[in-house]
Amino acid sequence: MSKKNRTVNPAIYEGLKSVIGQPSDKVISYDAAVDDFIQYSAIKGLSKHTASSYAKELNQLRKSFVDQGVDLTNIREVKASDFEEFIRLQVAKGYAPSTINIRVRTARIFGNYCVKKGYTSNNAASGVSLLKMRHTVGATFTQAQLKRLLEAPDLSTFEGVRDLAIMLTFADTGIRLSELEAIRTTDVVFPDRAINIQLTKNGYARRIPMTKRLQTVLRAYMKARGLDEFTSSLFVTIEDKPLNARSIQYQIREHGRRSGVLDDVQCSPHVFRRTFAKFKIKAGVDIFTLQQLMGHSDITELRKYVAIYSSDLDAAIEKGIE
């Protein structure tokens, strides 16, 4: 009777260790682990924006580790103290707490992935505390500023009609820049009076009703745009090329500059989004309806708007007074 082989194939051995949660004997560098993580994010179905954000933040972390002299040839050599020093340096450079916290959260997600894959035995970033933040709401437009912005485009040109349609879509739907960039002509459904947002941050498509004025402007824009069999993107250049996020941001800033609004407040897609939330809260729209319209996973972010803009406290202050 032949004896069984008393050694196990190295590949099988590594796979078994991963199954039971033991760290691999294989040494992997920080860069290689990040590459694997980004590929995993794409396979998992995360949006291109999210995967790009992970890569950006982990690259910032890498630069800091290099400055600190951290050994990046072995991911297991990265310690909690290295992350704490990273935070200290970020604070010293004047980065906002919200920006630093995004980087720490990304590091935690990456660390969990490394543990799951057996690259490390523990997540060194898991015990690093986030910075305390003041819960504030950023700049928003007033009604007068919004009116000036919408009046800025030259409506005798294709670009002017397009830019009005873009800014009004932001103003009347509160969608994100990445969502607007991804809208296709078929996503605008006039019989249903709605825009179907397919590419969202949380991965769930949603329907946003169109206001009457947005319907009118989008009909005019789509007539000027015409149909192009090679370009399905809703918003395009005069050469029928899809309009990218950077170009959209630039055009909004330019209209802010021409209208003078940029002298008083930043002009960007996110300011439109904040303004949408402000006006809806002030108009009495409940937070759960607003959550659905804006595509938030939870109401945590929207509570800040309610605290500042809700009129419920004004109505309640006189009640109970004799």
| CA angle (270 as vertex; 225, 290 as ends), nearest 5 | 95
* Confidence band for 316, pLDDT divided at 50, 70 and 90: low
Average pLDDT over residues 200-218: 88
Nearest one of 158, 156, 155, 179 to 169, comparing CA atoms: 179
* Confidence band for 266, pLDDT divided at 50, 70 and 90: very high
What is the fold, at CATH topology level, of the domain defined by 143-311? Answer: hpI Integrase; Chain A (1.10.443)
**What are the start and end residues of each CATH 1.10.443.10 domain in the chain?**
143-311
Q: Which span out of 14-28, 114-128, 276-290 was modeled with the highest average pLDDT?
A: 114-128
**What are the start and end residues of each CATH 1.10.150.130 domain in the chain?**
18-117
* Confidence band for 13, pLDDT divided at 50, 70 and 90: very low
pLDDT surpassing 50 at residue 53: yes
Q: Which residues 6+ apart lie within 8 Å of 301 measured at CB?
A: none
**Angstrom distance (rounded) from CA 291 to CA 28:** 42
- Between 49 and 108, whose confidence is greater? 108
What is the fold, at CATH topology level, of the domain defined by 18-117? Answer: DNA polymerase; domain 1 (1.10.150)
* Confidence band for 12, pLDDT divided at 50, 70 and 90: low
